[in-house]
Structure 1
Amino acid sequence: MQRIGLQEIRERTYKRRDAWWTVLLVDPLASRLVRLVAPYRWITPNLLSAIAFVFGIGSAVCFALGTHAWLAVGALLFHLSFVVDCMDGKIARLNGTGSMFGAWFDFMFDRVRVIMCTVALMGGQYARTHDLIFLWLAVAVVTLDLFRYLNSSQMGKLKRAMDGRLAEARGEAPGSAVPGARAAAADAELADDEADPADTVEVNAAAGGSRYIRLRNWLNARRIRIHLFSGIEYEMSVFIIGPLVFQVALVTIAAGALLLLFEAALVMRLYQATRRFQRQLRKIEASAPHAEADVPDPRAEREQVSAGH
């Protein structure tokens, strides 16, 4: 059975940009596992999503036990769950086996896994310490996880709407619709924070802007997006770093603060992008009458010819 080379797998399955946790700690392992399972067509993306969910259940059980040793095992299982969860998208892109239902299936299992592990982790720590802070943290983790997914999705839709409106104003042909599974895959990409409005923002050429551009280019060359603390890093902090160092409450609070900070930065970039969109749209609309005036009217030409005769 001929296997696909690792380089081809990287070229065909890696995202153009991704979270640094995924690039550094997940992709190297996931790509090698994909190489092993890709020839077996019965290993479908949906099957991998289900396996990832089973690992998530095992992680939740370990978290519920609450001791340091079990928290470490739960953190390891959660990381394995995330690795397998990343494999399903790579298999879908590699073998062309993605589907709209698969995108829904993957998304729902991810959300259920986060809720399940949150309840188990914070509930286990509450049972061990009887500290009410863990109950409040459970609510905060679920709320922030849902917020960042909704925020990313809405930003992606707004960015596509602005791009389409500008193309329409310029008179450009609209892009071909993304059908079926490709549309679902595109939405999944956006849910992973690919829709960063920073891509559409003009950065001043001052020293601060130059440093930002250099940093962004340096990160992009390594496939790492400038949004350094996204939902992925948030989940990994809560469910891996916190349990491993046995500082669940402290790490969860710090991770929540960082997530809110970076989400606020995204909102600010989105605001700047919408203002830039309005300027560009006004400029295009202002030039449209002049462009129309330059276009000769065939009926007027025929009338002039008739008058001459």
Structure 2
Amino acid sequence: MATFSLDDVRRVCKGRDAWWTVLLVDPIAIRLTLVVANRTSITPNQLTAVAFALGMGAAGCFALGSPGWLVIGALLYHVGFVVDCMDGKIARLKRTGTLFGGWLDFMLDRVRDSVCALALMAGQYVRTGHSAYLYAGMAVLALDMFRYVNGPQIVKVRRSMRSAVNAARRRMAEPEEETRDDETEPDGDAETALEPAPNTDLHRQFDSQFPWYRRIRRSLLRRRVRTHLVSGIEFQMAVFIIGPVTGAIIPATAVAGTLLALFELVIIYKFWLSTRTHTRVMAALGEAAAPTPATPADAPLPSPDLTPATADQD
């Protein structure tokens, strides 16, 4: 059995992640991953199943509704999340990841979060009779569904835009656009030095409007923290851990949901600006690649008149 070091595990961690994961989960998950990798033959899919089982245990505790069970449910949820963060590390460390494993992890996470949301809010409604918990449950499910639909779709369109720009530049025999990794989207850090080709940094307009953004982004990335500070992970932790432990389920859900929606709107706004820039860049690349009409100096000389001469020309 291969022996891995702590540095080996750190190297397979994501280059950027949610601050909750980086600060509160990875310090534990990295060390547990080292133990599991070196001393057991547990597979990533088995860890995914364990994480799902712990999530279902948390949902059962949430459904009971009393303060003590809520705290136990929050603890189970967090332990399950730690285990869930280990399966990817094991897969990358041992190179045993599969396409099915990625799908299984994604689907079970969605089922776990939906069941926990329903159990938590329904349990509180049964216990208190307050319909606000039902509305909160619907809001949690709606926000969770929106972010999982919105994120992949934005990534898909961004990739198509980048591919279109790179294809146009290849036709002009110029270097491809350099990209940077930011939230869930590619950005352009490097500017092309070739003229008259237009700048292909699709996020130039956003960066010019918010010049402080890149400084904050670079500072966070040095700590592996992504700029999307309230993402799905922070939202889940607020709803399923902070709320149950403090007893302030509705306030925690409302604050975290509002912040999640604001950060999603920022991503959408940035994406909208990049689509406008993409349109301008493609138009400029098309003009640069178009053949230049012949000037009068370049025009061919007229052909000699080869028609038969008339009688009066004799």
Question: TM-score, length-normalised on structure 2?
Answer: 0.81
Question: What residue number does 1:97 align with?
Answer: 96
Question: What residue number does 1:140 align with?
Answer: 139
Determine whether 1:60 maps to 2:59.
yes
Q: 1:21 to 1:38 in 2, by over 3 A?
A: same
Q: Which moved more, 1:2-11 or 1:271-280?
A: 2-11
Q: Which amino acid aligns with 2:68?
A: A
Map of 1:273-284 to 2, 5 A cutoff?
A: 273-284=274-285
Q: Is the 8 A contact 1:198 1:270 kept in 2?
A: no
Cα shift at 1:278: 1.3
Q: Which amino acid aligns with 1:228?
A: L
Instruction: Give SS of 2:290's match.
Output: helix
Cα shift at 1:22: 0.8
Cα distance in structure 2, aligned partners of 1:32 and 1:205: 38
Map of 1:193-232 to 2, 5 A cutoff?
A: 194-196=183-185, 200-202=202-204, 209-232=210-233
Cα distance in structure 2, aligned partners of 1:120 and 1:204: 41
Q: Which has the larger radius of gyration?
A: 2
Q: 1:260 to 1:2 in 2, by over 3 A?
A: same
Q: Which amino acid aligns with 1:159?
A: R
Cα shift at 1:40: 5.4
Q: Is the 8 A contact 1:57 1:113 kept in 2?
A: yes
Cα distance in structure 2, aligned partners of 1:227 and 1:141: 18
Instruction: Give SS of 1:52's match.
Output: helix
Cα distance in structure 1, aligned partners of 2:292 and 2:167: 15
What CA deviation, in whole Å up to 9, does each residue of 1:169-207 have, x standing for no partner?
A: 11279xxxxxxxxxxxxxxxx9xx94236664115776x
Which has a greater percent of helix?
1
Determine whether 1:38 maps to 2:37.
yes
Map of 1:60-209 to 2, 5 A cutoff?
A: 60-171=59-170, 194-196=183-185, 200-202=202-204, 209=210
Cα distance in structure 2, aligned partners of 1:237 and 1:98: 30
Q: 1:262 to 1:137 in 2, by over 3 A?
A: same
Q: Which amino acid aligns with 1:9?
A: V
Map of 1:261-300 to 2, 5 A cutoff?
A: 261-290=262-291
Cα shift at 1:21: 0.7
Q: Which moved more, 1:241-250 or 1:283-292?
A: 283-292
Instruction: Give SS of 1:252's match.
Output: helix
Q: Which amino acid aligns with 2:268?
A: V
Cα distance in structure 2, aligned partners of 1:139 and 1:14: 33
Q: Which amino acid aligns with 2:203?
A: V
Q: 1:270 to 1:223 in 2, by over 3 A?
A: same
Q: 1:27 to 1:289 in 2, by over 3 A?
A: same
Instruction: Give SS of 1:43's match.
Output: coil
Cα distance in structure 1, aligned partners of 2:238 and 2:156: 28
Q: Which amino acid aligns with 1:273?
A: S
Q: Is the 8 A contact 1:63 1:121 kept in 2?
A: yes
Cα distance in structure 1, aligned partners of 2:144 and 2:69: 24
Determine whether 1:247 maps to 2:248.
yes
Cα distance in structure 1, aligned partners of 2:185 and 2:62: 33
What CA deviation, in whole Å up to 9, does each residue of 1:88-140 have, x standing for no partner?
A: 11111111111111111111100110111111111111111000111111111
- Identical columns (%): 48
Q: 1:115 to 1:211 in 2, by over 3 A?
A: same
Determine whether 1:4 maps to 2:11.
no
Cα shift at 1:46: 0.8
Q: Is the 8 A contact 2:47 2:87 kept in 1?
A: yes
Q: Is the 8 A contact 1:198 1:266 kept in 2?
A: no
Q: Is the 8 A contact 1:237 1:252 kept in 2?
A: yes
Q: Which amino acid aligns with 2:250?
A: A
Mark the runs of 5 or more structure 2 residues left unpaired by the alignment.
Answer: 174-180, 189-201, 295-314
Q: 1:291 to 1:17 in 2, by over 3 A?
A: farther
Question: What residue number does 1:259 align with?
Answer: 260
Q: 1:22 to 1:64 in 2, by over 3 A?
A: same
Q: 1:133 to 1:251 in 2, by over 3 A?
A: same
Cα shift at 1:210: 3.2
